[in-house]
Amino acid sequence: MPLSVYSQFIADESGRVFWGKKASGLLFVRNHPTLGFQVLLVKRSPHVEQPGTFGVAGGAVEEGEDEFESAVRETQEEIGGMPPCHKVGEYVWRNPGGSFTFKTFVMETEDLNWIPKAFNWEVTGAKWVSMKQMGKMNLHPGLRDMVDAGAVQGPEKSKEDLKIDKKTPEEQSSWLSRVEASADRPPRVIVMSFFPGYLKVMIGDKVYEYQAQESDKNMVESYIRKGARNRAIRHLKKLKLIGKI
């Protein structure tokens, strides 16, 4: 079955190739009492486009997702979680001469101790930096455009943002729970072991054993590397299940 346009390399009208038709991500910001306004930058691994640059956690929007759901899911996958936060802005980068877009949601947190520590293959690290420090760093071109456009600002809030801030702790907790719940779909997929005719895979917190060939293993691993968990799970469902641990 061919991949959908939501999860494959495609060229837009400009001829430039992107992973998917559109993508999104989260940029975390905070107002530190001694260090001032800071942003969390994620360093891209050697295995992705623009390797070694600093940007935001994010990726392609999957079929059936909206951009915010996708951004949360990708963030959870790439840096292992997110702090209590609320949205204070957004910015859309459009490829010049094409239709591909990357939507960045600016998320403010008051958690001064949070730092991601679990990274997948797409990320090698993350750190909080000041605007001055960020200006001297090797930024992903999309984030550089966002900074140049003035879309990354200090903690000034609109009236709508102030209404968000007035939520009770219980309301904030409920909102974050819904966000985290959306990020939990689909579950994490990990290939644990393989030999001809046998494939062991962890899906979420459960382990499954399938009758499979090397081509099946390679296909599942390819989907996992691309962040297309739904595709990996769909392929596994086509295989004969021989055990569940």
* Predicted pLDDT at 213: 92
For 110-221, strand residue ranges (E) read 123-130, 189-195, 198-203, 206-211
Per-residue pLDDT tens digits for 221-230 = 888 777 677 8
H-helix or E-strand spanning residue 72: helix 67-79
Query: Tokens for 241?
Result: 């299940």
Whether 160 has a pLDDT exceeding 60, the answer reads no
Span 175-206, pLDDT tens digits? 444 444 444 456 778 888 888 889 998 887 78
Q: Put residue 81 in one of left, alpha, beta given phi > 0 → left and psi -120 to 50 → alpha.
A: left
pLDDT tens-digit readout, 7-63: 454 545 555 544 556 888 999 999 988 888 999 999 998 888 788 899 999 888 887
Q: Which parts of the chain are beta strand (E)?
A: 9-11, 17-19, 22-32, 36-44, 54-55, 57-60, 85-94, 101-109, 123-130, 189-195, 198-203, 206-211, 240-244
CA distance 142 to 28: 16
Question: At 114, is the pLDDT very low, low, confident or very high (cuts 50, 70, 90)?
Answer: very high
- Minimum mean pLDDT range among 71-75, 99-103, 115-119, 127-131: 99-103
pTM of model > 0.75: no
Beta strands 9-11 and 57-60, pairing class:
unpaired
What is the structure's pLDDT at 58?
87
Quick one: angle between helices 229-237 and 214-225, nearest 10? 160
Residue 82 pLDDT greater than 70, yes or no: yes
CA 221, distance to chain mean position in Å, is 18
Domains of the chain and CATH, by start: 9-183 (3.90.79.10), 189-244 (no CATH)
Asked which of 74-78, 86-90, 94-98 is least confident by mean pLDDT, the reply is 94-98
Place of tokens 């086509």: 238
